[in-house]
Structure 1
Amino acid sequence: MVRGAFILFLALLVTACGGRSEREVVRRDNDVFRSEPARQCLSTLKAANVRFTPLPNQSFAGGCRTIDTVKLMSFSTEATNLGAMTCPLAANFTAWAKHAVEPAAKAYLGSEVVRIETMGTYNCRNINGGRSGRLSEHASGNAVDVSAFILKNGRRVSVLSGWNGKADERAFLRRLHQSACKRFGTVLGPDYNAAHANHFHFDMGKSMKDGSAFCR
């Protein structure tokens, strides 16, 4: 009976130790926003009346991690599917929504944008779906993919149909692409490759050797 209990204990122990998945999170709550640049970024968000929740630092298998990230709760425009974002990405995205998306919608489409549709932020994967062998900026919550815009009058303007669609939609989307190039480290759209036919990719990485933005 004792031997049986011991065997059961070992089985449970093995199960507990072997249950660690490749995506198990290692939390370091005390490390959240300890650096001065990170704290300054939080102040920037607060000054812009952006509501957000700081997230605990997390590390995943494969080198993926989310360090000094936030969850955006509300800002000038509603946005979908936003997960963990590095604070600089969140600050630039919310500023782009307010100072680029809103005026461009009124100027080119004669209406207000009430919602920005995205394909998400954090995603533990490599660039180009794994072929490059290099982690994507999504793997650290440092990128966001924008797919469409919903107007107050009910109209939906998507990158997929609008980039080469109606004249006002083409002008609107190209204006947003150009303005994004001034705020993000890398901006990729439908003219870059087929993988970006249906969205804009924005991240805070610097792709050029001189540190300038990569905009395509």
Structure 2
Amino acid sequence: MVRAVRWFLLFCVLAVAVIELKARFDRRPQDLPWTALRLDDPVGRFTAGKIAALGEAPAQCRALLAAAGTRDRAAPPRRPAPTCGYDDGMILAGGNARQGGFAPAGLVTSCPVATALLLWDERVVQPAARRHFGTSVTAFSHAGSFSCRRLYGRASGAWSEHATADAVDILGFRLTDGRTVSVLRDWPGSGQDAAFLRDARDGACRLFTTVLSPDYNAAHRDHLHLDTAYRGPGGWRACR
């Protein structure tokens, strides 16, 4: 009889724990790998992997961007070589009420990169700009996305995520008051510009699967490399 009571109490404890755990995950679906990505959810543990997975679902990806109110539009497919190109390119408009613009204009990235940039701008960059400068970012200075090349421009070896427009290089930011923040110029400092850049880098690590900054190596001394390489829903991420 005593043993039966103990088993019953153990069952009750486990049942309560399961119910509490389910309630927690119901409140935070972004922390489960199998739930659908919703752009109005808080950023969660699996958000970056879900964004990267949109590379296999371009229609879903574009629908998410349209529902978010962006003015981004589909780019024509581009396949200059069998190992390079994209079918899910987006021409990034930016510059609306929800986003900063891009300089130079006409930036084309894969749809997952466009999605990650939208959330990075809204959830990370703009709050950081208000926190450090009391103003907003009006433009992202960039060095482009698509480039049909291997890693570091080598003649052989693995292909860069730029080869499929699944990466973008951010050089700096222009603020509403006309000031600029440059990765090359301001990263080595210790003031608010450097602090802002590090906040932007750290926040990007929750949305992109690879984030490389000047802390990584000299090849990235002048930009933040952001990409959406897909390594599975719970795959590893690089943040340097």
TM-score (norm 2): 0.70
Distance 2:139 2:78 in 1: 29
Deviation at 1:83, TM superposition (A): 3.1
Distance 2:197 2:231 in 1: 23
CA deviations on 1:112-151 (whole Å, 9 max, x unpaired) are 1111101111111111121652211011111000001111
Work out whether 1:115 is the aligned partner of 2:139.
yes
CA deviations on 1:139-164 (whole Å, 9 max, x unpaired) are 11110000011111111110111112
Identity %: 38
CA deviations on 1:141-194 (whole Å, 9 max, x unpaired) are 110000011111111110111112241112111111010000001000001000
Residue number among 79, 100, 113 corresponding to 2:102 in the alignment? 79
Match of 1:192 in 2: 216
Work out whether 1:143 is the aligned partner of 2:206.
no
Match of 1:11 in 2: none
Residue number among 28, 34, 41 corresponding to 2:61 in the alignment? 41
Distance 1:62 1:163 in 2: 37
Match of 1:203 in 2: 227
- Tell whether the 8 Å contact from 1:206 to 1:213 is kept in structure 2 after alignment: no
Query: What do you get for the CA RMSD once the two structures are aligned?
Result: 2.0
Match of 1:61 in 2: 81
In structure 2, runs of 5+ residues without a counterpart are 1-54
Larger RCO: 1 or 2 (CA < 8 Å, sep 6+): 2
One-letter amino acid of the structure 2 residue matched with residue 106 of structure 1 = R
- Tell whether the 8 Å contact from 1:66 to 1:84 is kept in structure 2 after alignment: no
Distance 2:64 2:150 in 1: 30
Instruction: Please give the secondary structure, in 2, of the residue aligned with 1:153.
Output: coil
- Tell whether the 8 Å contact from 1:83 to 1:122 is kept in structure 2 after alignment: no
One-letter amino acid of the structure 2 residue matched with residue 79 of structure 1 = F
Distance 1:214 1:206 in 2: 12
Match of 1:52 in 2: 72
Instruction: Please give the secondary structure, in 2, of the residue aligned with 1:51.
Output: coil
Residue number among 157, 182, 186 corresponding to 2:206 in the alignment? 182
Match of 2:46 in 1: none
TM-score (norm 1): 0.78
Deviation at 1:46, TM superposition (A): 1.1
Distance 1:158 1:131 in 2: 30
Distance 1:215 1:168 in 2: 21
One-letter amino acid of the structure 2 residue matched with residue 168 of structure 1 = Q
More strand by share: 1
CA deviations on 1:27-48 (whole Å, 9 max, x unpaired) are xxxxxxxx98211111110122
Work out whether 1:100 is the aligned partner of 2:120.
no
- Tell whether the 8 Å contact from 1:207 to 1:214 is kept in structure 2 after alignment: no
Instruction: Please give the secondary structure, in 2, of the residue aligned with 1:73.
Output: coil
One-letter amino acid of the structure 2 residue matched with residue 77 of structure 1 = G
Distance 2:162 2:221 in 1: 18
Instruction: Please give the secondary structure, in 2, of the residue aligned with 1:103.
Output: helix
How many corresponding residue pairs? 181
